[in-house]
Chains A and B, each alone.
Chain A
Amino acid sequence: MTATSLKELSRSPDRLASGHRLCAGCPESIIARQVLMGTEDDVVVSCSTGCFEVSTTIFPYTSWNVPYIHTAFGNGAATCAGVESAYQSLKRQGKIEGEIKFVNFAGDGGTYDIGLQALSGAMERGHKMVFVCLNNEAYMNTGIQRSSATGRGASTTTSWAGKESPGKKEFPKDMTQIMTAHGIPYVAQVAPHAWKDLVSKSAKAFECGGPAYINAIAPCPRGWRFPSDQTINISRLAAETCVWPLYEVVNGTDYALSAESLRIAEGKAEKKPVSEWIKSQGRFKHLSDPRWAGVAESIQSEVDRKWKTLLRLCGL
């Protein structure tokens, strides 16, 4: 088990070095560091093509102090699974020693869309690996195009808000539920403002003895249109509005809300209206137009519907 006090965490090794090329205010390095604090074992990191990959490994430099591998976009899970398979084989044959953990970082494109098949396959096969989605809700690396993780009403460069369109028309795919349906040992939804929750869920993921999936909301200042010093506040707002509830599912059946979301469920903390979420980001700016009032309402209804379902699954 790993440390979760700030003092102890501050002494953990710097597996991802500073000096990478991520944008100011980007939470991806924060999330990755929190995830990697979840194990004290050696770790091999893989990345799907995307912001995080290009920003940490521009030849002749690398930000990685641990073994790192990347191959392509849609195959992050297979990239990680190949290394894990080699490890299982070589360890069984006595050709290598020691405990090594495996983690893949992918964006929502590399998870929800092009990466879905390889991810589903790897989870079904039971590779001992943690797949982390850095979910910034669009193709940010190529310039803010919509993905199936993009929220309804968001203006992106392929789902513009225009005279005839309120931005993206569809609600996002519920990837956490899709991964839960795989019946894998551990699935969790996390957010970088809830650092202790994120580190302890990562520890559970690494120790679950099989495949684990962590879906991390990754507020993107460039794509979501908010000031780069607001990342952690936006992350908190995602949990407070229940747009992004924090919870975990063990073995595909045992649901539990995390402390922050549980307080809302128990009425000990306010469930903030989705309008606060919408107002906080420029990608939803057009929704203040009375013409699109119905869109904002529909987002609130969908968040409420999904929240109720989650409470039922958690036995609340």
Chain B
Amino acid sequence: MSGHHTDIAINGDSAVALAWKQIDPDVCAAYPITPQTIIVEKFAEYVADGEVSTEFVCVESEHSALTLCTTSASAGARTFTATASQGLAYMWEMLPIASSMRVPVIMAVANRAVSGPININNDHGDVMSARDCGWITLFAENVQQAYDMSIIAPRIAEHHEVQLPCLVNLDGFILTHATERMAPLDDAVVKKFVGEHKPLHPLLDVAHPVSHNLLDGPLYYFPHKYQTVLAMDKALEVAKEVFCEFEAVSGRRYEAVEEYRCDDAEAIAIVLGSSFGTMREAVDRLRHEGYKVGVAMPRLYRPWPIADLARTMRGKKTVVVMDRHLSVGSYGPMFPEIVAAAMENGSVPAMYNYIYGLGGADTMVSDFKKALADSIEGRAKRVNYLGVVQ
């Protein structure tokens, strides 16, 4: 393990800002929104103190933030931004444009419920609306991971066979505003790990003029979209390689699907984000009571690690999918995708879906314990709304 210095106490937003200070991007364009705001405030401090060489653009809206970032990246600059909730919603038009333009923009998302009613607390409603937009999507469980994923993200996104934008998700308030112990890497280690940005066909190479984002008729639109499919497939392979390289410099190992006590488990839960820790505690307590349970977290939501998920679920009797978002009129958004991944094994376990924690609704270890136990004991419905009196 190299490049490891003294642990620090830091909140999730500041950890993301610290990672980006160490990366020292060429351009950052951002707009404030709770609970992301600390990221841009902290980064603006680095700018004010001359600690980064970044062109920091305080835009008038999130739509312009993502537009600026997209074209800045097209121009050849390493670019990042951050948003949440309504901000991501306002950016939505630009999300598929950024991926189809194949720009490796990195965006931290401080996951927050989407209006209405207006609510500033955590759920995954914001990022789920981005899931079909062609962005690599990484989730962090804690502050350390929010920092680590921020450093890992550009390596995946900028890979010349990937060239896709990337979202780094951290749960609003639970991670963004919570101070945790974290081991940062040395500046030089980050700089070396992320490396020099080598953009493809940058717009500012005026000696070799290129036209970016042309009008496609039916003959070209679908084939061009398919190219992003291939790039996203490649991103899974690249992510695994980058995780290995990151372990070499940090000592911290990441997987496409993180598992906890899954090996001999008969029933497992699948969660995203900070709930992974809560669920681990629930698993420990249930194990103590004699239940053979485990929990897994897809590190990557896009590309969806289908084979890895299938392996995690192979031979399990029960799988409980925890969705922190609502797709009104259907299952939670992750549930059908987990079922589809399980089908790769030829047979599908008994599968249950829990919608939980919307708009920051408290979810306790005891709630998770009950969800798992009820699913194992056959008391759960197919879709359950945790904590809502039905």
- Decide yes or no whether B257 CB sits under 8 A from chain A: no
Q: How far is the CA of A63 from the CA of B253 in the complex (A)?
A: 50
- Decide yes or no whether A60 CB sits under 8 A from chain B: yes
Report whether A79 and B75 are in contact in the complex, using a CB–CB cutoff of 8 Å. no
| Residue interface bits B145-168, CB-to-A below 8 A is 1, else 0 | 000000000000000000000000
Report whether A79 and B71 are in contact in the complex, using a CB–CB cutoff of 8 Å. yes
With A46-B71, A82-B70, A121-B64 as known contacts, state yes or no: A90 contacts B76, CB within 8 Å.
Answer: yes
Q: Which of A60, A62, A82, A100 contacts B72 (CB 8 A)?
A: A82
Report whether A121 and B203 are in contact in the complex, using a CB–CB cutoff of 8 Å. no
Among residues 52 to 68 in chain B, which have CB atoms less than 8 Å away from a CB atom of chain A?
A: 53-55, 57-61, 63-64, 67-68
Q: Which residues of A contact B216 (CB under 8 A)?
A: 59
- Decide yes or no whether B190 CB sits under 8 A from chain A: no
Report whether B204 and A89 are in contact in the complex, using a CB–CB cutoff of 8 Å. no
Report whether B71 and A121 are in contact in the complex, using a CB–CB cutoff of 8 Å. no
Q: Which residue of B lies closest to A124 (CB)?
A: B60
Q: Which of B58, B76, B209, B212 contacts A86 (CB 8 A)?
A: B76
Report whether A72 and B211 are in contact in the complex, using a CB–CB cutoff of 8 Å. no
Q: How far is the CA of A275 from the CA of B207 in the complex (A)?
A: 50
- Decide yes or no whether A281 CB sits under 8 A from chain B: no
Q: Which residues of B contact A66 (CB under 8 A)?
A: 206, 209
With A44-B204, A60-B220, A67-B210 as known contacts, state yes or no: A125 contacts B94, CB within 8 Å.
Answer: no
Q: How far is the CA of A117 from the CA of B90 in the complex (A)?
A: 13
CB of A42, distance to nearest CB on chain B (Å): 4
- Decide yes or no whether B29 CB sits under 8 A from chain A: yes
Q: How far is the CA of A316 from the CA of B77 in the complex (A)?
A: 48
Q: Which of A62, A81, A96 contacts B68 (CB 8 A)?
A: A81
- Decide yes or no whether B326 CB sits under 8 A from chain A: no
Q: Which residues of B contact A125 (CB under 8 A)?
A: 57-59
Among residues 177 to 220 in chain B, which have CB atoms less than 8 Å away from a CB atom of chain A?
A: 203-206, 209-217, 220
Among residues 94 to 119 in chain A, which have CB atoms less than 8 Å away from a CB atom of chain B?
A: 95-96, 98, 100, 117-118
Q: Which of B53, B68, B93, B217 contacts A85 (CB 8 A)?
A: B68
CB of A206, distance to nearest CB on chain B (Å): 15
Q: How far is the CA of A88 from the CA of B213 in the complex (A)?
A: 22
Report whether B213 and A69 are in contact in the complex, using a CB–CB cutoff of 8 Å. yes
Report whether A82 and B204 are in contact in the complex, using a CB–CB cutoff of 8 Å. no
User: B58, B68, B93: which has the most chain A beta carbons within 10 Å?
Assistant: B68
- Decide yes or no whether B69 CB sits under 8 A from chain A: yes
Report whether A83 and B63 are in contact in the complex, using a CB–CB cutoff of 8 Å. no
CB of A92, distance to nearest CB on chain B (Å): 7
- Decide yes or no whether A93 CB sits under 8 A from chain B: yes
- Decide yes or no whether A70 CB sits under 8 A from chain B: yes
Q: Which residues of B contact A118 (CB under 8 A)?
A: 60-61, 63-64, 67
CB of B226, distance to nearest CB on chain A (Å): 15
Q: Which residue of A lies closest to B71 (CB)?
A: A82
CB of A179, distance to nearest CB on chain B (Å): 15
Q: Which residue of A lies closest to B196 (CB)?
A: A95
Report whether A82 and B69 are in contact in the complex, using a CB–CB cutoff of 8 Å. yes
With A57-B215, A59-B220 as known contacts, state yes or no: A44 contacts B206, CB within 8 Å.
Answer: yes
The size of the chain A interface, using a CB distance under 8 A, is 47
Q: Which residue of B lies closest to A81 (CB)?
A: B68
- Decide yes or no whether A307 CB sits under 8 A from chain B: no
- Decide yes or no whether A65 CB sits under 8 A from chain B: yes
Report whether A85 and B97 are in contact in the complex, using a CB–CB cutoff of 8 Å. no
Q: Which of B59, B71, B76, B220 contacts A71 (CB 8 A)?
A: B71
Report whether B211 and A62 are in contact in the complex, using a CB–CB cutoff of 8 Å. yes
Q: Which residue of B lies closest to A53 (CB)?
A: B215
Report whether A85 and B63 are in contact in the complex, using a CB–CB cutoff of 8 Å. no
Report whether B67 and A67 are in contact in the complex, using a CB–CB cutoff of 8 Å. no
CB of A123, distance to nearest CB on chain B (Å): 10
Report whether A75 and B63 are in contact in the complex, using a CB–CB cutoff of 8 Å. yes
- Decide yes or no whether A87 CB sits under 8 A from chain B: yes
Q: Which residues of A contact B85 (CB under 8 A)?
A: none
Report whether B67 and A82 are in contact in the complex, using a CB–CB cutoff of 8 Å. yes
- Decide yes or no whether A64 CB sits under 8 A from chain B: yes
With A59-B220, A81-B68, A87-B75 as known contacts, state yes or no: A54 contacts B57, CB within 8 Å.
Answer: no
CB of A261, distance to nearest CB on chain B (Å): 33
Q: How far is the CA of A92 from the CA of B26 in the complex (A)?
A: 10
Q: How far is the CA of A138 from the CA of B54 in the complex (A)?
A: 40
Q: Which residues of A contact B60 (CB under 8 A)?
A: 117-118, 120-121, 124
Q: Which of A62, A75, A96, A122 contacts B204 (CB 8 A)?
A: A96
- Decide yes or no whether B341 CB sits under 8 A from chain A: no
CB of A107, distance to nearest CB on chain B (Å): 15
Report whether A85 and B212 are in contact in the complex, using a CB–CB cutoff of 8 Å. no
26 A-B residue pairs with CB within 8 Å: A53-B215, A58-B215, A58-B217, A59-B214, A59-B215, A67-B205, A67-B211, A69-B211, A70-B212, A71-B71, A78-B59, A82-B27, A82-B70, A82-B74, A85-B27, A85-B29, A85-B57, A86-B71, A86-B72, A86-B79, A87-B75, A89-B26, A89-B55, A96-B204, A98-B206, A100-B206
Which A residues contact B (CB, under 8 angstroms)?
42, 44, 46, 53-54, 57-60, 62, 64-72, 74-75, 77-83, 85-90, 92-93, 95-96, 98, 100, 117-118, 120-122, 124-125
Contacts A83-B203, A117-B61 aside, 8 further interface pairs with beta carbons under 8 A come to: A66-B209, A71-B97, A75-B64, A81-B71, A83-B204, A89-B72, A89-B77, A120-B60
